Amino acid sequence: MRLLDRITSPADVRRLSGRQATALAAEIRDFLVAQVSRTGGHLGPNLGVVELTIAIHRVFRSPEDTVVFDTGHQAYVHKLLTGRTDFSALRRRGGLSGYPSRAESEHDVVENSHASTSLSWADGIAKANVLQGRADRSVVAVIGDGALTGGMAWEALNNIAAGHDRRLVIVVNDNGRSYAPTIGGLAEHLSLLRATQGYEHVLDWGKRTLRRSGPPGRFAYDALHGLKKGIKDVVAPQGLFEDLGLKYVGPVDGHDVTAVERALRRARDFGGPVIVHVLTEKGRGYSPAEQDVADRFHAVGQIHPETGLPVAPSRFGWTSVFADEIVRIGRRRSDVVAITAAMLQPVGLAPFAEEFPDRVFDVGIAEQHAATSAAGMAFAGLHPVVAVYATFLNRAYDQVLLDVALHRAGVTFVLDRAGLTGDDGASHNGMWDMALLASVPGLRLAAPRDEETLRSALREAVDVDDAPTVVRYPKGALGDPLPALESLDGVDVLARHEGPDDAPAVLVVGLGSMARTALAAAEALAAHGLRVTVADPRWVLPVPAALTKLVGEHDHVVTIEDGLVDGGAGSVVAQRAREAGLPTPVQNLGVPRAFLDHATRDQLLDELRLRPEDVTRDVLAALGRTR
C-alpha cells in the first residue's frame, strides 16, 4: 500500500517518520505527473513545493493553524495531504478546483488565485487570533518570490512587522520564478540571500576541522568567528527584512524535509512574525520541466508524461496573433514600448522582447504600477502597450481611471483571456473588464472577432495618443475569418437576412467572440420568418453613432457579450438608444453578476444560456412568438 493511500488528513502526515516523509514526497511527485498530464493544470509550481508542504503539515496543525497559499496554484500537494486524492476531474466541472476552495475543505482559506494577497489575509487572521484569545494558534502564509514583487505584499509586510505578539510565519518559496524569472530589486536581494547557503557549510567545516586537530586555542575560535561574520556580512543582506522588524530564518533547502521542519519549528516557537526563506526548484523531479527554460510547465494542458509534449498540438491562437502584430508595429514605431506584469511569455510579448529588448519592461506582479508607469511614459513621448490577462486589470482600475484617463494618456491596454476562460474558476474569468471600463471617461475599447480585426484594432489603438485604448480578446484558438458584408462608419455588417415586409426587423449585435453566436442565432431567427441584420461594432466603447443609427432602423435589438450584462457594453448601447429618444427595445444578453465555478467555456455558455439556440428562444419570446 502506498503511503499516499494512507493519508486522509494532516494528522496522518504528522505520524510519519522522517524517512517515510521523504518517501511520501517521491510518491506525490509520481502522482502529480501522472494525474496532471491527463487533465492539465499547474504542474511545475506543485512539483517544487512537495517537501515544503509536507513539512508545513508536520509542524503546524491545520485547520486550527491557518495555512494561506499565495498564489493558490501551488496548493495541489496541500489538497493531497488534506485528503483530496481524486484528481481525475481536476479543473473540470464536478472535480477539484485548480485553486484552494472553501467548498472542498476546511483546510482551504483563500480562494482568490490572484497574487500578493496572502500576507494581508494572514495579517488579518493573526490580529483576530490575538484579539479573540487564540494565542496558541499560528498563521502560515506561503508566498512565492514572484508574488513579493506586488505592492500589496509590501503594504502587508509593513503592518505585520508592527505586530510582535502575533504568531505569523511567512514562508518565502523562492524558486527565482513566477511565470518567468523574477525581476527587480527584490529578486536581486533574494539572489544574494541564496548565496548564503554556503556560509553555514563553511562554518560547519571549520568546526569539524578544529575538533579533529585537538583542543582549539582562543585564536582559532576568534578566527572562525571572524570568518563567519565576514562571509555573512558580505553575502547575507537579510537586514532588509530584519530592519522591518521581522526575524529572518534561512535560506533553507526546500527539498530537505528535515531541514524545512527544523526551520519552521524555530519560526513557530519564536512567537512573533518570522520570515522563513525556502529555496525550491520549480518542476523538481520531472526531467522535462527541469530542463525547460521557457517555463512551459508552469501550467500545462494534456501532455505525454514521459516526454512532456502536448497530446494535441495547440492551434494558432489569439495570443499568437497579438505577438506577431505587436512586433510588426514595433518595427514601424520606435516609440512603442511594451509592459508586462511578470507574464512575458503567457501574454505573447516574448517575440517583442527578443527583437526589442530595451523596449520591454517587466514590472513584476504589479499591475497598478504598470498602469501608472505607462502614464509617465506616455507623458514623456512613448506609446506604452500594457499586456495583461483581463482578470488582472481589475487590480489597476483606479490607475486606469485617475492616472491614465484623467491625464488623457495615450496608453494601450491589451487584455488577453477576456470573457469566459472556464477551467481556472471564478477569479480567472475575464468577465469584468467591459463593465468596469465603461465608466472611464474617454476610454476606447475594441473587441475584435477574428484575426484581421485584432490586427487592425491594435494598429488603430496605438495611433491614439490622447486617451487610453483597450483591445480585448478571448483565450484559445482562433476560428475562421468572419468577413464583413459592408462597413457603416466603422460598424461592420456581417449578415442580412431578408423576409416578409411585415415581419419584425431584428438587429443582432455580437460583441467580440460572440459574433459567431450572433451569426448562428440570426440564421435561426430568419428561419422563423424574421428580417435579421447582424452587426459588429468592433470598437465597442464609446458606442459608435452608426450603431445607434442601426438600432433606430430596427424593431428589436439584441446584444450578446461574454462579459457582465449589468453595466456591460450592451447596456451602454441601450442607454445611448434611450438618450437618442429611440423607441426600439434593446435586449441585453451576457454574464450575470455572479462568481462562476470552474468548468469549460462551452459548459459555462450552456449554463448561462448564451448558445445560439438560447439567443433565438429569448428573442422570439421577447417578440411574443413561439418556436
**Annotated binding-site residue? 195:** no
Q: Where in the chain is the domain with CATH 3.40.50.970?
A: 4-196+236-290, 318-472
**Annotated binding-site residue? 156:** no
DSSP state of 441: T
DSSP state of 396: G
What's the pLDDT at 299?
65
Q: Where in the chain is the domain with CATH 3.40.50.920?
A: 487-622
Q: What is the mean pLDDT of the chain?
A: 85
Beta bridge partners, 303, equal 310
- Among this protein's residues, is 282 annotated catalytic? yes
**Annotated binding-site residue? 113:** yes
* 87-96 pLDDT, tens digit each: 888 888 888 8
Catalytic residue among 51, 261, 325, 367: 367
CA distance 134 to 558: 56
Q: Judging by beta carbons within 10 Å of its beta carbon (0-12, 13-18, 19+), is residue 259 exposed, middle or buried?
A: middle
**Annotated binding-site residue? 394:** no
List, in sequence order, the alpha helices (H) in 273-315: 287-290
Tell me the pLDDT band of 170, cut-offs 50, 70 and 90. very high
The alpha carbon of 79 is separated from its chain's Cα centroid by a whole number of angstroms, namely 20
**Annotated binding-site residue? 580:** no
List, in sequence order, the alpha helices (H) in 463-600: 515-527, 545-552, 569-579
CA distance 74 to 603: 26
What's the pLDDT at 67?
94
Q: Judging by beta carbons within 10 Å of its beta carbon (0-12, 13-18, 19+), is residue 216 exposed, middle or buried?
A: middle
What's the pLDDT at 373?
94
Query: Hey, what CATH class is 487-622 in?
Result: alpha beta
Q: Grid coordinates representing 533?
A: 441584420
pLDDT at 476 over 70: yes
| Residue 252 identity (one-letter amino acid) | V
Catalytic residue among 282, 359, 417, 538: 282
Task: Pick the range with the lowest mean pLDDT from 161-175, 183-197, 439-453.
Answer: 183-197
CATH of domain 4-196+236-290: 3.40.50.970
**Annotated binding-site residue? 248:** no
Tell me the pLDDT band of 146, cut-offs 50, 70 and 90. confident
* 410-429 pLDDT, tens digit each: 999 999 999 888 777 777 88
**Annotated binding-site residue? 145:** yes
* 608-624 pLDDT, tens digit each: 999 999 999 999 999 98
**Annotated binding-site residue? 367:** yes
pLDDT at 478 over 50: yes
CA distance 265 to 263: 6
pLDDT at 237 over 80: no
What's the pLDDT at 175?
80
Which of 41, 49, 47 has the alpha carbon at shortest distance from 598? 41
Task: Pick the range with the lowest mean pLDDT from 4-13, 187-196, 371-380, 396-405.
Answer: 187-196
Tell me the pLDDT band of 535, cut-offs 50, 70 and 90. very high
Tell me the pLDDT band of 48, cut-offs 50, 70 and 90. confident
Which of 409, 408, 420, 417 has the alpha carbon at shortest distance from 385? 409
Catalytic residue among 177, 247, 395, 455: 395
What's the pLDDT at 236?
46
Top pLDDT among 101 and 574 is at 574
Which of 73, 68, 115 has the alpha carbon at shortest distance from 391? 115
What's the pLDDT at 118?
87
CATH of domain 318-472: 3.40.50.970
- In this structure, are residues 564 and 526 in contact, taking their beta carbons and an 8 Å threshold? no
Query: Span 68-96, mean pLDDT?
Result: 88
